[in-house]
Amino acid sequence: MASRRRPKSDHVAVSISPVARSDSAKTGGVLGDPSEPLLSEKKPKVDWAVSWGRLLKESRPVRCRLVFGTIFLMLAAVSSLAVPALFGSVIDALSRQDGAQLQFTTILLIIVSAAGAVFSFIRAYLFNSSGQIVVAGLRARLFQ
């Protein structure tokens, strides 16, 4: 197979990248020195204890919703963990050709899946409404 050659072009490839500007009189650096940062790299120091404390203080009016949301989160997690075990029971009932066990396990699987969906819906509703209430309170105080 013959190799293809690229046609010659009068164009030159140029790489354009942001260049840091420096005043050579102040820093002694060269204009466009890539070792100089474009923006200040100072990050604000965050006191995480104050941040978490403030978050808990702001969420005080909805703490019951958050507690119940957490309970429903755990119930949804347990129901989702039960589904693979129930599928295992379905496979066992199929391999033993036990119709009564298969019917019971299938009904139980449907009930657990439906309960998990309900638990997930309630959890999502409680957490989302709690977040909206907290944000609404923050906005109301901000624009007073």
Task: Supply the pLDDT for residue 73.
Answer: 97
Rounded mean pLDDT of 57-71? Answer: 93
pLDDT digits (tens, 9 = 90+) for 71-114: 999 999 999 999 999 999 999 999 999 889 999 999 999 999 99
Write the burial class of residue 126 (CB in 10 Å: 0-12 exposed, 13-18 middle, 19+ buried). Answer: buried
pLDDT in tens, 121-136: 999 999 999 999 999 9
Q: What is the largest CA-CA distance in the chain?
A: 90
Q: State the CB neighbour count (10 A cutoff) for residue 138.
A: 11
Q: Structure tokens of 68? A: 């119940």
Global pTM value: 0.62
Where does the chain have alpha helices with state H? 24-27, 48-58, 63-96, 99-142
pLDDT digits (tens, 9 = 90+) for 1-57: 555 665 565 655 555 555 544 444 455 555 556 666 566 566 777 666 667 788 888
